[in-house]
Amino acid sequence: MKKVFFKTFGCRTNVFDSQVMMSRLEGYEITQDEAAADVVVVNSCTVTNGADSSVRGYVNQLHSKGNAKILLTGCGAHTKGESLLNDRKVFGVFGQSEKEKINTLLAAKQPFYELGDLDFIDNNIVDDFVGKSRAFIKIQEGCDFRCSYCIIPLVRGDARSINEETILIQIRNLAANGFGEFVLTGTNVGSYGKGEGRNIASLMKKIALIRGVRRIRLGSIEPIQIDDEFKEILSEPWLEQHLHIALQHTSKEMLRIMNRRNKFESDRLLFQELSEKGFALGTDFIVGHPGESDVLWREAMENIETLPLTHIHAFTYSKRDGTPSALMKSSINGMLSKARMQELTAIVDAKNIAFRQQYKGALEVLIESCKEGLYYGLDQHFNKIVVRSNEELEGNWIQVKDYTVEREYNYAEF
Ligand code: SF4
């Protein structure tokens, strides 16, 4: 049987999409060894210039080896697919909506370019996650927000939700196969059920009733989507004690320039409320967007000091053709962006250590991997923990009471 290697870039939604393609393979064998592959399916990302160059670099390196047929899919298919096909760097290009045809596409004798449509709704059910100890569940796709810097709505389409029963069947199957932790993912997860009389809180309550479900995590959510119904589930034992709430900036004027729907004053009140309930709080932040003057940067840093943050995904602005921000004049060079990134991450790293030092309770940990006799996992606050033990712990849930707070992780003997 011909061997297929899946290379997945980008977000958890891509991880899910790759799992769907793997679970549908017929007449082909999945290999984890790229060198042994007859075909390599590159599930690409295009959210930043960095993502584009990683994908292009990977495809060029594969192409120069010349061993395998290369197929490109994912968000990069919509932005880079045509040029990579015309340059004969890839044999075929297909959009996310075409992934169910994976066996036909793998067998294609002629080069192809099938982007499909951006309105499709994914009703695939996966009942395993190769090499993972937690399951990523796509519940939604696309986004109706129109942040001025973002290309995602152009490559993932408008917001639409996966059928509720499909999601619940999937989780029942995965829980029956031993998965206990579920990460709900999508492009704009908080938009789940929009316009259909359902929402993320009601879905999570139903998921929590499924036998074997131990912890539910959310990929990311927008501040304005944390409504009263969502606040009702905050004290549920199955909800991770960590939320990733995408702010993208903390200057009022920058949020306006970036066409964000959140407002700093209400963000600050929300974060305060959640922190008082013991939540660890993460966010996304884009540094160096056009308009980010020194004055606005100072304002943003003064504001971020007031937020009880514990985690940050900070990115430097990346001009994406086709977005409104791409037409804006930018005066922030790479050096300045880098310095601002360092200032920002240093502030949040210090807050993370302070959070871990002040927390006195037990840590609920799912051990995910083991390397050189040390076990690695994440606790309920999405903080890393390293555990030394003579027991076989991989895939196990453990409760840790005695541990030390190190710079980047907690450490325990078990
Ligand atoms: S919310 Fe904004 S940043 Fe997030 S995917 Fe939608 S448009 Fe992009």
pLDDT for residue 320? 93
State the closest ligand 1 atom to the C-alpha of 248, by its place in the atom list counted from 1.
3
pLDDT at 386: 97
Q: Is 304 in the pocket of ligand 1 (CB under 6 A)?
A: no
Torsion of CA 227, 236, 378, 281, to 10 degrees: 30
Q: What is the pLDDT of residue 12?
A: 87
pLDDT in the model for residue 127: 77
pLDDT at 129 over 80: no
Residue 55 Cα to ligand 1 midpoint, Å, equals: 21
For ligand 1, the distance from its centroid to the CA atom of residue 152, given in whole angstroms, is 7
Of the candidates 68, 77, 107, the residue with the CA atom closest to the CA atom of residue 17: 77
Q: What is the DSSP string of 314-362?
A: EEE----TTSGGGGS-----HHHHHHHHHHHHHHHHHHHHHHHHH--S-
Dump pLDDT digits (tens) for 26-54. 999 999 899 999 999 999 999 998 999 99
Nearest-Å Rg of the Cα atoms of the chain is: 22
DSSP state of 67: -
Q: Is residue 130 very low, low, confident or very high in pLDDT (cuts 50, 70, 90)?
A: low
Give the distance (Å) from ligand 1 centre to CA of residue 21: 25
Q: Are 122 and 162 in contact (CB under 8 A)?
A: yes
Reported as a pLDDT band with limits 50, 70 and 90, residue 90 is very high
| Residue whose CA lies nearest to ligand 1 atom number 1 | 145
For ligand 1, whether the C-beta of 147 sits within 6 Å is yes
pLDDT in tens, 150-160: 999 999 999 99
Q: Tens digits of per-residue pLDDT, 231-269?
A: 999 999 999 999 999 999 999 999 999 999 999 999 999
Instruction: Tell whether the model's pLDDT for residue 131 goes beyond 70.
Output: no
Across all residues in the chain, what is the average pLDDT? 95
Give the distance (Å) from ligand 1 centre to CA of residue 151: 8
DSSP annotation of 193: T
- Residue 187: CB within 6 Å of ligand 1? yes
pLDDT tens per residue, range 325-340: 999 998 899 999 999 9
What mean pLDDT comes out for the span 143-165? 95
| C-beta neighbour count of 137 within 10 angstroms | 27
pLDDT at 404 over 80: yes
